[in-house]
Structure 1
Amino acid sequence: MKYVTEYHNSILLMERTFSRHYWKWLAQQSETSLRTKALARVRLIMYPLWLIHCRRAVLDNFLANYRVANALVLLSKHEIPEIQKLTDMDLARCKVINNPLSWEKIEGEQILDGKKKQVLIVSRLYNPEKRLDRAMKIWKILAKRGLTDWQLIIVGAGVHEAYLKTLSCEPGLKNVVFTGRQAPYPYYRDAALFMMTSAVEGWGLTLTESMQTGVVPIAFDSYPALHDIITDRYDGCIIPDDDLEAYANCMEELMCNPEERERIARNGLVSCRRFEINIIVEQWATLIESL
């Protein structure tokens, strides 16, 4: 009997989601209970020790899967250096197979003719991981620069929907629309730009969904697999993590330069073919047959 396991997320998930910023943010929320605020403050004080414990627990979970497997499949080759920071164990049985595209169809270049002045976010509204408060801050920077003829459309639902809607009503924020949970494909067809502000992702299917529908994806450099998906300024844009001004600068350039925006979008329509379902299935078949 041969065993194949898959580590279908990033080794950095826990530490990037529950970062110092998260515990500080939680302690400052007005709706947070006194008990939770106290716990958050303790976690802030004890954070270095918690981080050691967190990394050990995540590594133990990974190795438990690795030791029983003939092959352990990762989503990204860029995860391997991050794992090797935690262990000197030989990882020869780690294999890499990316996620396939969400939809079979890749749009043609004609889709670019119908693009509107819309920026899209498709996300679970869970702020510690998705950091959508950053998106609101970036949108406010753009509004201050006079870019008020664009619309930000947020497709998704989650526990922090009310919090994010409150942020969207702050002075200086305009043209922010929450659609709730919807089938996202029609929104991709209309949008010109896509925002990802996540602290971490395992893969990021919304980026490849953007590419196959002619939307230019923009993301913080916050997780390893991003570099499997996007080549900066070729088929998307990668922003230094948490640099809100740099993110806003990139968006402003693309909003004001339709030729550059369409060049990147066209490249994305071609680049995403790497992840077509038949290619990914063939990689899985090759792996299984090799065992």
Structure 2
Amino acid sequence: MFYPIDESCYYTGNVEDEVHKLSPEQVENYLTQEKVDVVVNQQAIFSTSFTKLVLGFNLRRFKYISVFHNTPAIYEKTLTFSRLWYNFLHQRGVSAKMSNCVRMIVYPLWKQRVVKGAGKMYAVNYDASDKCVMLSSNDWPTLGRYLKHDVSEKCVTIHNPLTFDTIETAECLCHKKKNVLIVSRLNNFEKRLDRALKIWKKIETGGFDDWHLYIVGWGLQEKMLHNLARKLKLRNVHFEGRQPSEPYYHNASIFMMTSAVEGWGLTLTESMQTGVVPIAFDSYPALHEIITDRYDGCIIRDNDLDAYAVCMEELMRNRKERERIARNGIESCKRFETDKIIVQWVKLIESL
């Protein structure tokens, strides 16, 4: 079942037209008439609206699964003072600026209040659910910290499946170019692409003039990142905008992730299945269920830009090592093949 952000109506079959449209009041009748056995709430990390709607039903004849599609720590990791300052400088309208100004003045209290509110939201979704699906077992303790109790009774871990239909073979490594790739929304507060550009400055300073960085994606901070690239006088950086990413993976040898937080990080498994070596900061729990450091990717201590640059330089110099890690990634990512993930979902649903 699909529902838009404003939650004023719901659509069945993921089709947005009048035939498939339901009001919130019609949802209960639909579930009853269709004899629905299991309802999956995909918004547990962001909202309680659908859960509260379900709790209001007179008689619940179905099992309820809530899916946490990001780490529960997302709010504490992304609600930074610098984000408020950026919004204050760039948002239009007096009320928006005043709102951000007040939040900056009382920033510690405001953030504490928001994080506490997130915990209450998680609790509503958790308590209403028969099972809660997390992307990583490493996120269970974080959810437990918010709820102030053990969550192993209800939580299960099901990873995201691979994005692309096929997994490359080791033969693809023969055609790789000296390209480094970033595929990301250009949201600097979450993706921290300013750090990627500063790391790349170290690479160019180190004399790797035959390597190029391609950034695929678009977002609110695109202009700011273009300006930073000019300020750093970067030569071999290419902002590609919103493009199909798969062709870029096929040409790339190294993938960069500099995010402050991720729920899973699909771009890491995309890079692995296309023979690209992923490098990521150790900034979120699920990372260690995707990458084993120096086996099928590289994990760098969070915010250590120097260590990140050194790792990239080592891989750029050593094609044999680069291809060893890439080959391991091609095999390792098979853990996340779609058929294997479907089996886990079927097992979960049948267990209810």
TM-score strictly above 0.5: yes
Residues 1:171 and 1:96: Cα distance change in structure 2 (over 3 Å): closer
Give the superposition deviation at 1:39. Answer: 5.4
Larger relative contact order (Cα-Cα within 8 Å, sequence gap ≥ 6): 1
* Counterpart residue identity of residue 128, structure 1: F
Residues 1-291 of structure 1 correspond to what in structure 2 (within 5 A)? Answer: 1-23=62-84, 40=100, 42-91=102-151, 92-291=153-352
Question: Could you list the per-position Cα deviations for residues 136-192 of structure 1 after superposition, in whole angstroms to 9, with x for gaps in the alignment?
Answer: 111111111112211000011111111111111124411111111111110000000
How many Å separate the matches in 2 of 1:90 and 1:79?
A: 12
* Counterpart residue identity of residue 255, structure 2: F
Is the partner of 1:43 in helix, strand or coil? helix
Is the partner of 1:199 in helix, strand or coil? coil
Residues 1:79 and 1:33: Cα distance change in structure 2 (over 3 Å): same
How many Å separate the matches in 1 of 2:80 and 2:310?
A: 26
Question: Could you list the per-position Cα deviations for residues 45-71 of structure 1 after superposition, in whole angstroms to 9, with x for gaps in the alignment?
Answer: 423212321221111111111111110
* Counterpart residue identity of residue 350, structure 2: E
Residues 1:265 and 1:62: Cα distance change in structure 2 (over 3 Å): same
Give the structure-1-normalised TM-score: 0.94
Is the partner of 2:186 in helix, strand or coil? coil
Give the superposition deviation at 1:33. Answer: 6.2
How many Å separate the matches in 2 of 1:128 and 1:5?
A: 27
* Counterpart residue identity of residue 133, structure 1: D
Contact 1:5/1:73 (CA < 8 Å) preserved in 2? yes
How many Å separate the matches in 1 of 2:118 and 2:75?
A: 8
Contact 1:75/1:96 (CA < 8 Å) preserved in 2? yes
How many Å separate the matches in 1 of 2:74 and 2:177?
A: 34
State the number of aligned residues.
Answer: 289
Contact 1:104/1:276 (CA < 8 Å) preserved in 2? no
Is the partner of 1:85 in helix, strand or coil? helix
* Counterpart residue identity of residue 16, structure 1: K
The gaps in structure 1 that reach 5 residues or longer are none
The gaps in structure 2 that reach 5 residues or longer are 1-61
How many Å separate the matches in 1 of 2:99 and 2:212?
A: 38
How many Å separate the matches in 2 of 1:278 and 1:192?
A: 27
Contact 2:203/2:313 (CA < 8 Å) preserved in 1? yes
Contact 2:123/2:147 (CA < 8 Å) preserved in 1? no
* Counterpart residue identity of residue 66, structure 1: Y
* Greater shift in the superposed pair: 270-279 or 235-244: 235-244
Give the superposition deviation at 1:21. Answer: 4.0
State which structure, 1 or 2, has the greater radius of gyration over its C-alpha atoms. 2
* Counterpart residue identity of residue 55, structure 1: V
Residues 1:116 and 1:9: Cα distance change in structure 2 (over 3 Å): same
For 2:56, the equivalent position in structure 1 comes to: none
Identical columns (%): 53
Give the superposition deviation at 1:26. Answer: 5.2
* Greater shift in the superposed pair: 62-71 or 93-102: 62-71
How many Å separate the matches in 1 of 2:331 and 2:116?
A: 40
User: CA RMSD for the aligned pairs?
Assistant: 1.8
Is the partner of 2:325 in helix, strand or coil? helix
Question: Could you list the per-position Cα deviations for residues 86-116 of structure 1 after superposition, in whole angstroms to 9, with x for gaps in the alignment?
Answer: 2322311011100000012100000000110
